[in-house]
Amino acid sequence: MSKLLSLSDAVERYVPDHVRMLAVGGMHLHNNPMALVREIVRQQRTIGRLLTSPCGALNADLLIGAGLVDEIATSYVGFEHLGLAPCFRRAVEAGSIRVLECDEAYITHGLYAGAGGLAFIPLPAGLEVSDIPKVNQVSYATTTDPFTGREVLVGAPLCPDVALLHAYQADERGNAVLAGAHFVDRLMALASRTVLLQVEQVVPTEEIARHPVGTTIPGFLVQAVVEVAGGCHPTASHGAYDYDEQQLGLYLSMARSAEGVGEYLERHVTGVTEEEYLEKASPRLAELRYGEGPSPVPSSGRSG
């Protein structure tokens, strides 16, 4: 059965308003599912808890800047060498968003626990000496190891209601190929109840079958496939194009104030369709494309 949907239909059908936990895939400035994120903003879907990969970026900051997020579970939101995330920082300082601070290991292991249906998961030794378990008692606890009798730090499972992910290619049934780095996107797909997948290109199933199993997401995990070539812009899409530092710089400049981010949203998100946005971005995307065939890492050499 074909799972191909338009961007607006996918969000309208599968992302309820005030979704309990929404996860955004990608990491740093790479593979952010920005077309889906922008459509969430256009449809004003509010989010109880936003979960990022170990390093969130524009995928989180834009949703926060739009005033849609009550709470965020993350270890970092920023723009790598370009600086910190302005909307995230402003919201935290103003107390308008609650932060569940997590370490990178917990996000990875917590998704693994969610994918496996585990009640909790032991975390690597050493994390117990940090302050993070003290400030986030929602996600962390201690228990007794039944084999050694020692006290160990454990994490709660992460089970997003909806995950927004990006892949290089997929067939119409949702079987997908991840080019380049996978980050925790496969774990998000396994742990989430609903997966919306934006892709650069829809291809025949035979093309997906040529790729090793470890590079793919099976279609039975995916509820909707949205074909949006260029949909990660202004972040990178591994296998297709690098990130647009010029557009990211514009966002960071405008998002220094609440008024500025409102203007950015009107100009680049809510005031335009996704087709109009990508048409404006097409000259830059043409410059940033890797060329023929998938390229696994950004041409700049910064893989995130």
Q: Which two tokens stand for residue 63?
A: 């949703």
Please give the C-alpha separations between residue 11 and each of 146, 162, 223, 224, in angstroms, as whole numbers.
Answer: 44, 10, 11, 9
Task: State the average pLDDT over residues 170-184.
Answer: 95
Task: State the average pLDDT over residues 154-169.
Answer: 98
Q: Where are the alpha helices (DSSP H) in 52-157?
A: 58-65, 86-94, 104-116, 132-135
Expressed as residue numbers, the domain containing 148 is: 119-155
Question: Is residue 195 located within the same domain as residue 231?
Answer: yes
Q: How many separate domains does the chain show?
A: 2
Task: Indicate whether 103 pLDDT > 80.
Answer: yes
State what percent of residues in the chain have pLDDT above 90.
93
pTM assigned to the model: 0.94
Q: Give a yes or no: residue 293 inside a domain.
A: no
Report the CATH number at residue 184: 3.40.1080.10
Task: Indicate whether 209 pLDDT > 60.
Answer: yes
Q: Give a yes or no: residue 302 inside a domain.
A: no
pLDDT interval class at 289 (50, 70, 90): very high
Neighbours of 275 (CB within 10 A): 10
Residue 169 and residue 206 in contact, taking contact as beta carbons nearer than 8 Å:
no
Residue 234 preceded by cis peptide, ω within 30: yes
Question: Is residue 181 located within the same domain as residue 257?
Answer: yes
Task: Tally the residues of the chain.
Answer: 304
Question: Is residue 243 located within the same domain as residue 174?
Answer: yes
pLDDT interval class at 294 (50, 70, 90): low
Please state, in angstroms and rounded to a whole number, the distance separating the CA atoms of residues 270 and 256. Answer: 19
Beta strand spans in 75-175 (E) = 98-101, 121-122, 140-144, 151-155, 162-170
Q: Give a yes or no: residue 114 inside a domain.
A: no
Question: Is residue 38 located within the same domain as residue 177?
Answer: yes
Residues 6+ apart with CB under 8 A from 51: 21, 22, 23, 24, 72, 73, 74, 107, 158, 160
Task: State the average pLDDT over residues 22-45.
Answer: 98
Q: Give a yes or no: residue 250 inside a domain.
A: yes
Q: Which two tokens stand for residue 205?
A: 């199933």
End-to-end CA distance of the chain: 35
Mean pLDDT of the chain: 95
